[in-house]
Every structure is written in C-alpha cells, then in structure tokens.
C-alpha cells in the first residue's frame, strides 16, 4: 500500500471526462493523488464548425479530431489532470450512424486488442482505482460500451487495480433538479427526462462531494465549446449546473480491500 495513490478514468470521447468524473479528478489532484485520464477515441464523429454533423457538407473529420483533442488538453488543464493518455481510436458515432460500420471504429476493434493497450497504461501507472462506465456505457453509445469492456478486461487481465467503479447518475438527484427547475420557471422540454432516467439510488455505493470543484468543471466543460450543441448541460442555468456538479456518484463494481458499503471516497480502504 506504499505505492503512490493513483486514479485512472477511462473515457470514450474528448468531453466525457467532465460531467461524471471532472470533480473527482480535480479534487484528488488537489489532494496529491496522481490522476490519469485515458480517452479512447479522437471524437471525429463530433460536430464540425457551425454544428455540422458527420456526413454533412463541411464536416472534416481530421479537423474535428484536431480541434477536439486541443479542447481535451484545455479541459484536462482545468481539471489539473497529471497524465492525459489518448488511445487514438476512431470515434464510432452514435448508435445507427454510418460511422458504426467503419472497420477501424473503436467499437469494432477486438476487445482484447484495445484492452492490451489499456493494460500497458495500467502497468505503467499502477492505479489503485479505475473508473469507467457501466455495461450500458451510461446511455448506450457504442464507444462508451466498448470503453467499459476494455476497462473491465484490462482490470481483470492486469490484476493491478484494487477497486473498479462505474460512474452513475443519481435518479433522486435528477428528479430533485427537475423540481428545482420547474419551481424556478427554468424547465424546458429538453429536461423532460423519463422517470426511470439515471441509476436507482440504492445501487449507488459511493458519493463524492465535489461542490468546491463546480467552477473547475464548468470551465472544463466550456473548453469543449465545439460540441456546445450536444452538451445539454451547458444550456442549463448556472445555478442548475452547480446543483448537478456538486456530487459525483459511483457504483463500486469490484474491491479487493475492505471498504464500507457506503463510501464518500474512492480510496476508502486504500489510505494509510
């Protein structure tokens, strides 16, 4: 237990690092924990200038990727991420998009191939804690599901991490936010989420208080300006953003150390 405390977050696209894990990355960095962000794809299926979508005239994949990777570096700086690692896979696009069929799309790469590369990073950084998405990739994006698969395979294959977490969105919290917005006259149809949106709270094992890092998260999210149209949270009033950003929730999927059933720290059981 005398190795440097290290957390590794495994994400699919530039911008995914912010909403579910930006607070823990900034907070742990400030507390002296080494933070590693692995972003699996270049995000080339994101919006081009003026919101043009892949396949539309004016959408230049190479330019989109270059822009998004620059935004990622800026976001990582706001979150004080110590090590940013990019695997450079091709963005598969949303379910049903033509990009899904590309032979080199991340979602089509054999899990063992990509997991081996991620495993090399685990060997290098030796994270005690790894954070990624759940089996559904949070919301079904093929690249998020693939990131989940390779993270689980690399955790099992290397045997290095002591704890594995899936990021979660508290259903109660979303419901309370909806009430707050309706009460404040801020509600809009975009926020009309189904009642079963998010993770049932009884499944959430770990909630980390990151309220003090809401500003860092907002700056990091704004760094991804080229994707502004797709980042719905950026269009919420700032008060609502602060509410959303105050906590980050996780499901502890695996632990090789004794830790309480309900934790407020991903490193519970790992600190001297």
Query: By the criterion CB under 5 A, which residues form the site for Zn ion?
Result: 12-13, 16
Whole-number minimum distance, CB 77 to Zn ion, in Å? 20
Nearer to Zn ion, 92 or 158 (CB): 92
Whole-number minimum distance, CB 141 to Zn ion, in Å? 6
Nearer to Zn ion, 16 or 265 (CB): 16
Which residue number is nearest to Zn ion in terms of Cβ? 13
Nearer to Zn ion, 178 or 198 (CB): 198
Nearer to Zn ion, 75 or 128 (CB): 75
Structure tokens at 94: 């949303």
Q: Which residues contact 260 (CB under 8 A, 6 or more apart)?
A: 268
Nearer to Zn ion, 151 or 270 (CB): 151
Angle between helices 238-245 and 16-30 (to 10 degrees): 60
Element of type H or E holding 113: helix 111-125
Whole-number minimum distance, CB 17 to Zn ion, in Å? 9
Whole-number minimum distance, CB 61 to Zn ion, in Å? 16
Whole-number minimum distance, CB 67 to Zn ion, in Å? 16
Q: How far is CA 215 from CA 220, 244, 247, in A?
A: 9, 12, 13
Element of type H or E holding 87: strand 83-89
3-class SS at 3?
coil
3-class SS at 214?
helix
What is d(CA 272, CA 270) in angstroms, rounded to the nearest whole number? 7
Nearer to Zn ion, 45 or 241 (CB): 45
Whole-number minimum distance, CB 94 to Zn ion, in Å? 9
Place of tokens 């079963």: 196
Place of tokens 């045997």: 159
Nearer to Zn ion, 31 or 66 (CB): 66
Whole-number minimum distance, CB 16 to Zn ion, in Å? 4
Q: What angle do CA 16, 20, 23 make, to 5 degrees?
A: 110
What is d(CA 168, CA 179) in angstroms, rounded to the nearest whole number? 20
């Amino acid at each position: 237990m005398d190795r440097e405390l290290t957390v590794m977050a495994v994400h699919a696209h530039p911008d995914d690092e912010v909403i579910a894990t930006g607070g823990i990355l900034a907070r742990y960095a400030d507390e002296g924990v080494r933070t590693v962000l692995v972003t699996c794809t270049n995000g080339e299926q994101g919006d081009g200038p003026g919101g043009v979508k892949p396949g539309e005239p004016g959408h230049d994949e190479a330019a989109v990727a270059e822009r998004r990777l620059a935004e990622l570096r800026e976001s990582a700086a706001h979150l004080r991420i110590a090590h940013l690692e990019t695997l450079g896979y091709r963005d598969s696009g949303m379910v049903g998009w033509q990009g899904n069929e590309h032979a080199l799309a991340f979602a089509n790469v054999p899990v063992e191939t990509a997991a081996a590369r991620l495993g090399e990073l685990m060997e290098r950084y030796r994270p005690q804690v790894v954070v990624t998405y759940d089996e559904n990739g949070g919301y079904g994006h093929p690249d998020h599901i693939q990131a989940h698969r390779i993270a689980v395979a690399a955790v099992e294959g290397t045997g290095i991490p002591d704890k594995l977490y899936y990021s979660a969105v508290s259903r109660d919290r979303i419901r309370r936010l909806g009430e707050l917005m309706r009460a404040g006259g801020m509600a809009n149809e975009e926020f009309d989420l189904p009642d079963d949106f998010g993770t049932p709270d009884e499944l959430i094992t770990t909630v980390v208080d990151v309220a003090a890092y809401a500003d860092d998260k907002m700056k990091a999210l704004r760094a991804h300006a080229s994707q502004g149209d797709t980042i719905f949270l950026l269009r919420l009033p700032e008060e609502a953003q602060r509410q959303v950003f105050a906590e980050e929730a996780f499901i502890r999927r695996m632990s090789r150390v004794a830790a309480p059933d309900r934790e407020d720290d991903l490193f519970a059981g790992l600190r001297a």
